[in-house]
Amino acid sequence: MTPPEALLSARALTVKYPYGDVQNVVINELDLDLYPGQIVGLLGESGSGKSSLALALMGLARHPGIVSGEVNFRGKNLLKMDDEELRQIRGNSIGLITQKPRQALDPLVNVGKQISRVYRAHSQASKADAQVRAVELLRSVGINDAERRVNAFPHELSGGMAQRALISMALSVEPDLLIADEPTSGLDVTIQAQFLDRMWERARDANIAVLIVTQDLGIVANYCDRIVIMEDGKIIEDRLTADFFADPHTAYGKKLILASGAGTKSSNAEVAIATTPEILRVTDLRKTFEVEGGKRLQAVSKASFQIHKGRSLGLVGESGSGKTTVGRLILRLADPDSGEVWFKGERIDSISPKEFRKYRSKIQAVFQDPFDSLNPRWPIERVIREPLDLHTEMSKAEKAARVKELVSLVGLTDDILQLRPGSLSAGQQQRVSLARALATEPEFLILDEPTSALPPAARADMIRLLKSLQDRLDLCFIFISHDLSTVRELCHDIAVMYLSEIVEMGTSEQVFSAPSHPYTRALLDSVLFHDPSSRRVDRKIKAELEGEIPSPVDLPAGCYLAARCPMAEQRCRDDHQALIEIGPSRSVRCWKSVEASK
């Protein structure tokens, strides 16, 4: 697909920022063409100049930046235009979607008015027409109940809805070019999939050129026709997506493909059900939090599961599903409202915090935020040594030896020992956290999204490390994550959570090969495989969910998924669902799935 003429073409585009006496070259002599109807994915590490390029293409690189070169849009150089001309072009022909949608919206004006303002600024429509158009636009990007939502203020919208309001604003003037800077970062996977599907459809239908800035190779593989990779302000690879995935030319491209593990959908193939002794048992765990107005938010409800020696449980769900709270309850970082936690036959949820400290050396944790998990004032050596100081009677020399052993166990070198956490990369920081957690040879670990804050390459390294440690140390852990492919790689068993409840449980193999609950199916469907030959948009979507996740403060009486579920019947809305066993170590919270499996 090579359309005759580029819609936008940048030639020798350079952006520099003066920094003290030197000039920081952010974009260096860059050439780029964008064609109508083509979706281009712009990748690169943070600091490679991706976002700067997105802004420069719109003529938004401003003082104190120094811009040279050309950005021709339909043959006219944007960089030579005055503000008024640029404003016309920006509104009429180029739309921008930024990260952090809520910050891009005016908090004092309802979204309908914001959309119609943009629309009216660039067309002659009357106020009433613009309002009608706003409703149409909101509906077209998949917001149900659009008539009511136009009157909503930004704070009343979820992140996903705000992002969609923003895209409808950008689309309201029917632009020829849409620039989206990490439009789905911070969105949940099912919402991300809904959003990208809509954007893809709109771009196809209206022949819009789209530039998506992203870090996620999955988005590129699934939605982009062409991939552009930046490094140090230059384009190092610019090719059709399929070609790139077949044979990346540059080292960075190869690293990306390798990191994504494309094609290696390996898993823990043991279908076998656990026979080793039980380490942890959780029964009927429940936790609510008080929120403003005296209401209670239900974070975890009726959570029951057990973990056996040498096995790992993946706790999967979107934000707000309660998966992190389950981990915190087990770690006694929060106290459950009711329910029991048993560790090797001893009940540990009702003992005093002081008594619980004895178990700390046996139950350890790694948290999501790599930097924030480490005391910023302590050298790494002290961080890793801390659990040894607290729980062992080792001599100084023994501790020093153990620290060194741990450092090499997690793939780091001794020279970081005297550094502070701030001078390590996120990947290294997370390894330090892991070394600290392993110091006392715990019998059980809680890994709370240890990979999700890491850049793609570091994430792949971390997963590889966990996998090798799992084999070598016979680790037993709960892995909390929203990333299904990671869970599949690391975990024997899986529990899928939705709005405070476990909706499906089973071995990895069972759940991945034959997902039963509609939510599990939708979740699996929204995984963006790093493989352009199995794109989500080409698949026939079997279990697409609609709309938004309900608020955990006002939960519906029936099944929590009923409002979004394509299979829902009246019975689903009326009766709350119980977790029903449908096979050995396999259960599901959906009567229709249970009936279908009989």
Partner 1 sequence: MMRKRKIDPLLLIGLIIIAGSLFLAIFGNSLAPYDPQEPVGDFSMPPSADHWFGTDGSGLDVFSRVLAAPRVDVAIAVTAAIVSAVLGTGVGLYAGYFTGRFSEIVMRVSDILQSFPVFILAMVLVTLTGRNVVNLIFVLAFLYTPIFVRLTRSEVVTQRTRTYVEAARATGNSEFQIATRHVLRNSLAPSLVQLSVTVGFGILLTSGLSFVGAGVRPPTPEWGIMIASGAPNIILNEWWTSIFPGIAISITVFGYAAAGNAIERWARK
- Strand-strand pairing, 226-231 and 209-213: unpaired
Q: Total number of residues binding partner 1 (CB under 8 A)?
A: 28
- Rounded least distance, CB 371 to partner 1, Å: 9
Q: DSSP states of 102-161 as a string?
A: HHHS-TTS-HHHHHHHHHHHTS---HHHHHHHHHHHHHHTT-SSHHHHTT--GGGS-HHH
Q: Which of 266, 375, 425, 533 is close enough to bind partner 1 by CB under 8 A?
A: 375
Rank residues 25 and 240 by Cβ distance to partner 1 and give the closer one.
25
The single-letter code of the amino acid at 194 is: Q
Rounded alpha-carbon distances, angstroms, from residue 506 to 496, 517, 559, 584: 9, 12, 20, 8
Q: Which of 134, 279, 299, 374 is close enough to bind partner 1 by CB under 8 A?
A: 374
Give yes or no for residue 364 binding partner 1 (CB under 8 A).
yes
Q: Within 10 Å of residue 81's Cβ, how many Cβ atoms?
A: 17
Q: Within 10 Å of residue 517's Cβ, how many Cβ atoms?
A: 26
Rank residues 334 and 567 by Cβ distance to partner 1 and give the closer one.
334
Give yes or no for residue 20 binding partner 1 (CB under 8 A).
yes
Rank residues 132 and 351 by Cβ distance to partner 1 and give the closer one.
351
Handedness of CA 188, 552, 592, 273 (dihedral sign): positive
Q: What is the CA radius of gyration of the chain?
A: 26
Q: Stretches 19-27, 40-48, 101-109, 503-511: which one binds partner 1 (CB under 8 A)?
A: 19-27
DSSP state of 410: T
Q: Stretches 146-154, 227-235, 362-370, 505-513: which one binds partner 1 (CB under 8 A)?
A: 362-370
Q: Find out whether 236 and 252 touch, Cβ atoms under 8 Å.
A: yes
Angstrom distance (rounded) from CA 190 to CA 501: 17
- Rounded least distance, CB 330 to partner 1, Å: 10
Give yes or no for residue 46 binding partner 1 (CB under 8 A).
no
Give yes or no for residue 345 binding partner 1 (CB under 8 A).
no
- Rounded least distance, CB 8 to partner 1, Å: 31
Q: Which of 246, 258, 272, 333 is close enough to bind partner 1 by CB under 8 A?
A: 333
Give yes or no for residue 368 binding partner 1 (CB under 8 A).
yes
Rank residues 214 and 433 by Cβ distance to partner 1 and give the closer one.
433
- Strand-strand pairing, 39-43 and 226-231: parallel
Rank residues 40 and 365 by Cβ distance to partner 1 and give the closer one.
365
- Rounded least distance, CB 324 to partner 1, Å: 11
Rank residues 28 and 361 by Cβ distance to partner 1 and give the closer one.
361
Give yes or no for residue 346 binding partner 1 (CB under 8 A).
no
Q: Identify which of 332, 431, 434, 436 has the alpha carbon closest to the alpha carbon of residue 388.
A: 436
Q: Stretches 70-78, 133-141, 373-381, 481-489: which one binds partner 1 (CB under 8 A)?
A: 373-381
- Rounded least distance, CB 387 to partner 1, Å: 5
Q: Return the structure tokens found at 304.
A: 């029951």
Give yes or no for residue 360 binding partner 1 (CB under 8 A).
yes
Give yes or no for residue 365 binding partner 1 (CB under 8 A).
yes
**Cα 347 to the chain's mean position, in Å?**
35
Q: Find out whether 23 and 51 touch, Cβ atoms under 8 Å.
A: no
Residue ranges of E strands in 209-327: 209-213, 226-231, 234-240, 278-290, 296-308, 312-316
Give yes or no for residue 24 binding partner 1 (CB under 8 A).
yes
Give yes or no for residue 376 binding partner 1 (CB under 8 A).
yes
Give yes or no for residue 433 binding partner 1 (CB under 8 A).
yes
Helices (H), 306-379: 323-330, 353-356
The residues that touch partner 1, with contacts defined as CB under 8 A, are 19-20, 22, 24, 331, 333, 353-354, 357, 360-361, 364-365, 367-369, 372-377, 386-387, 390-391, 433, 436
